[in-house]
Amino acid sequence: MYRRSISFVLLFVVTFSGLAVGRGHIDDRVLAQIKAEGFQNSKAMETVGYLTDVFGPRLTNSQNLKNAKSWMRDKMISFGFDNVQIEPWGSWGKEWDLERFSAQMTAPTYDRLIAYPLAWTPSTSGVVSGEPVIVSVSNAVDLEKSKGKLKGAIVMNGRFPFNPPASRGGDPMKRLNDEELAKKAGATDPTKDPDGGGTVSYQDEESDWLESLARGKAITKFFKDEGVAALIQPSRRPNGVLAVQGSYFPDPAINPPTFVLAREQYARIVRLADRKIPVKLEFELRTRTGGEATGSNVLGEITGSDPKLKDEVVLLGGHFDSWHSGTGAADNAAGCVAVVEALRILKAIGVRPKRTIRVALWDGEEQDYYGSIGYVKKHYGDPFSIQLKPDHARLSAYYNLDNGSGRIRGIYLQGNEAARRIFEEFLEPFAYLGARTITTLNTGGTDHMAFDAVGLPGFQFIQDPLDYESRIHHTNLDVLEAVNEEDMKVNAVIIAAIAYQTAMLDEKMPRKPLPKTAEGDWYLPQNRP
């Protein structure tokens, strides 16, 4: 990586203290300093490059993640942040690390298979080989049909149509255009995205997730109980890209060894079997496993300067964990480094915000927001009983970044219309960079939902998708090359400015009414599948 050197002569030397004017306007001199530091002295690519290349993927409960947390803690200290710590939030799942694996077809011809094991699957019993058994198991009827027929077999689960050549067409890289942004801006119902879909609440999202977990776990348990030697699944992505996540059970003792295989190779094997041509596959997997794992988040801050407001917090965050087939660069080292870089910029230019600005890097997001929900339960309240803690009154806002490295184009209000005018002022200086869209829409799938769940102002930024959804998200292509350097700089600058302005407001950010308590006991730990 490289940075172009740009000379810049400062016309003003000022002491930055209490420069916010009115409700949310940022002093032009502070904004100029943020831009100069963020655009011309950026540490973003240096930080994200070292994090991803050196420590690799950061699977929840893995040694890689522990090592990366320690390094990031030290990095925050070197940037001069206050109160840097690795704070435990609780425990979840088992420790698991991938040591080595191999996957190949040896007949009717040799083919090195494009494959990767799911997280939390156990080692194979040495090298396992044989002719695969192809099944389609997705419901209770399918389970009964295959029962008692799979012991010791290499099982391929699923049949699907061949990928036509048209699936390779089109440009997977995408920027949001004016029409798409205008549709978002014109939305009136937070739960109804004009492009389809829409998130209602964390509680609804969690209920749907637990239902899907129950279905998936039943199938996983079936194959384990059947005693399969290895389970093979097709990637949901075409063109040789592997979409790899984890088993439904975060415990190798109750999973079969499971691999994701490139769709095209999977389809070839199915076609060969349909032609009655014998196929022989060979797999080996070695993993290291441990006991119950303690989860933790990495925290650092700039302490507030106003004696009356310094205990109030503006929180920035993103999830630090990743899946394990890539290095988790776009998802979500890019978001984590952007918020850390935002705080570094503010520290470097010497501003003294009234409120504390804190950065939090969560773990366990990929499994169910465990790090952020653990933090919320510890400091703010329970998202199901809505029993609140004293710190609930002290959080002004939470800003999350977690949709790859694409440029920020605006913000989702999560239905918090009282905040619209504030964000209009916050974003006005960045309209020339394309960050001007404010939508009432909810967006889900990441850690701001944990804060919204207890009635706190939690926001996720609108970002250009680039190729995040088309080929990067949760795949083996999520490496440093997926990170856009210029967008990283812009994102860090915008977040720094918004965080500073929020910290300087006369009042905390407005809040929506508290959500209702959850009905029933489906969410209790003992009732989780």
- Using alpha carbons, list the distances in angstroms from residue 336 to 13, 52, 363, 472: 31, 12, 11, 17
Residue 272 CB: number of other CB atoms within 10 A? 17
User: What DSSP character marks residue 331?
Assistant: I
CA-CA distance, 235 to 104, in Å (whole number)? 16
| Predicted local confidence at residue 5, as pLDDT | 34
Amino acid, single-letter form, for residue 128 = V
Kindly calculate the radius of gyration of the chain based on its CA atoms and give it in whole angstroms. Answer: 24
**Could you list the mean pLDDT of each consecutive 10-residue stretch along the chain, which spans 529 residues?**
32 33 68 98 98 98 98 98 97 95 98 98 97 94 92 94 77 93 95 81 91 91 96 95 94 96 96 97 97 96 98 98 98 98 98 98 97 98 97 98 97 98 97 98 96 98 96 97 98 98 97 91 74
β 128-130/115-117 pair status? unpaired
Identity (one letter) of the amino acid at 522?
W
Can you read off the two tokens belonging to residue 453? 């769940």
Distance CA 350, CA 373 (A): 32
Handedness of CA 241, 245, 247, 253 (dihedral sign): positive
Note the pLDDT of residue 529.
65
Sequence-distant (≥ 6) Cβ neighbours of residue 10 within 8 angstroms: 36
Whole-number Å distance between alpha carbons of 425 and 331? 29
In our burial notation (b when 16+ CB lie closer than 10 A, e otherwise), range 403-441 reads bbbbbbbbbbbbbbeebeebbeebbebbeebbbbbbbbb
Q: In sequence order, what DSSP letters do the residues of 40-107 get, joined into one string?
A: HS--HHHHHHHHHHHH----TT-HHHHHHHHHHHHHHHHTT-EEEEEEEEEEEEEEEEEEEEEEEEEE
Nearest partner of 264 among 184, 165, 399, judged by Cα: 165
Q: Please, is 142 exposed, middle or buried when counting C-beta atoms within 10 Å of its C-beta (0-12, 13-18, 19+)?
A: middle
Give just the sign of the alpha carbon dihedral 13, 16, 21, 25: positive
pLDDT of residue 25: 61
Q: What letter represents residue 241's amino acid?
A: V
* Phi, psi of 10, rounded to the nearest 5 degrees: -80, 135
Cα-Cα-Cα-Cα dihedral of 16, 20, 25, 29, to 10°? -20
Distance from the Cα of residue 522 to its chain's centroid: 25
- How far is the C-alpha of 104 from the C-alpha of 354, rounded, in Å? 60
**β-pairing verdict for 280-302 and 128-130:** antiparallel
The C-alpha atoms of residue 339 and residue 449 are separated, in whole angstroms, by 18
CA angle 398/403/405 to nearest 5° reads 105
Strand 115-117, strand 111-112: pairing: unpaired
Q: At what angle do helices 28-40 and 334-349 cross, to 10 degrees?
A: 130
| Strands, E assignment, 215-369 | 230-234, 258-261, 280-302, 313-319, 356-362
